[in-house]
Structure formats: structure tokens, C-alpha cells
Amino acid sequence: MESRVGTGFDVHQLTEGRPLILGGVEIPFEKGLLGHSDADVLVHALMDALLGAAALGDIGGHFPDTDPAYKGVSSMKLLEKVKKLIDEEFYGISNVDITVMAQRPKIKSYINDMRKNIARTLEIEESRVNIKGTTTEKLGFVGREEGIAAQAVCLLYR
């Protein structure tokens, strides 16, 4: 059996006037993430990890922010498209592990819903999806609440 590891990293700026979407869940907060799509930084990092493991490039190549078709699109819809690309290459998803870096808001109470969304979209068991949140102890752009970052790793097999 062939196994392949992929990593993904993404950052989006926090701004007023936008909803905060993480893992397909809208989180009540005074700011949201700035981006061409819904700016779901968690899902963006995950998509890059999946695409990387399959040697299929990155989300910018598949869903460019210059394409009006992706303006305001749900990142969960894009994750569905990435899942189809992975399926076309005959890969299965062993597991995914995602870390969200945000000073605020705390995401702990939303993680189960995020895991359900991702597992359903990737057609894998929830036990194969791990999500955790961390702060940067008030250091850097995350600590100053200027943005949120996410890092993801996945293991594919065939």
C-alpha cells in the first residue's frame, strides 16, 4: 500500500462586517475573515494538505481568487471538489489533523460540529478528523487579533 502525507497552511485577516466561518460553522464573533470566498482558513489549510499529498498543486491553482465563480463561495463546497479530485486519483483518506491558531474566539465548543462537517464532506468517519485550537499567547498577528491561521496534515493511501 502506498501512503502519502500532505501539509497545508493558511492565514486570513480578521475584519469587521463579515461572518466568521471555521470548518463550515458560523461562529458568533464581532469580526470575520477577509477573503474572496467565505475565507474559512481551517478548510483552506485542509484542502492544501489533501491536494499536496496527492501532488495536485494547491487551492490557488484550482480555485483562483481572481475567478468570480468563487466570490463568496462556501469553502465546504470547494472541499467537496477537492474530495472528487482525490477520488479520481484513487486515494483514500486515512486521517486529517488540523490546528487553528486564534487568540479569540475560543473554538472548543464548535469543534464537534466542525468535525462532523468535514467527516461528512470527505466521506470518512469522525474518528479520522481531529481539530484543535491554540492561541499564540498574545504574540504576533494572531496574538494581536489581526488574523487567524490554520495548519493541517493528512495521510492518504491507495
Q: Is 64 annotated as a binding residue?
A: yes
Q: Is 60 annotated as a binding residue?
A: yes
Q: Is 44 annotated as a binding residue?
A: yes
Q: 18, 32 in Cβ contact below 8 A?
A: yes
Q: Is 121 annotated as a binding residue?
A: no
Work out whether strand 3-15 and strand 32-33 pair parallel, antiparallel, or are unpaired. Answer: antiparallel
Q: Is 86 annotated as a binding residue?
A: no
Q: Is 87 annotated as a binding residue?
A: no
Q: Is 12 annotated as a binding residue?
A: yes
Q: Is 137 annotated as a binding residue?
A: yes
Q: Is 89 annotated as a binding residue?
A: no
CA-CA distance, 59 to 76, in Å (whole number)? 13
Q: 114, 81 in Cβ contact below 8 A?
A: no
Q: Is 10 annotated as a binding residue?
A: yes
Q: Is 134 annotated as a binding residue?
A: yes
Closest C-alpha among 103, 38, 52, 72 to residue 62: 52
CA-CA distance, 62 to 94, in Å (whole number)? 23
Q: Is 58 annotated as a binding residue?
A: yes
Q: Is 9 annotated as a binding residue?
A: no
Q: Is 125 annotated as a binding residue?
A: no
- Annotated binding site for a divalent metal cation, which residues? 10, 12, 44
Binding residues: 10-12, 36-37, 44, 58-60, 63-67, 134-137, 141, 144
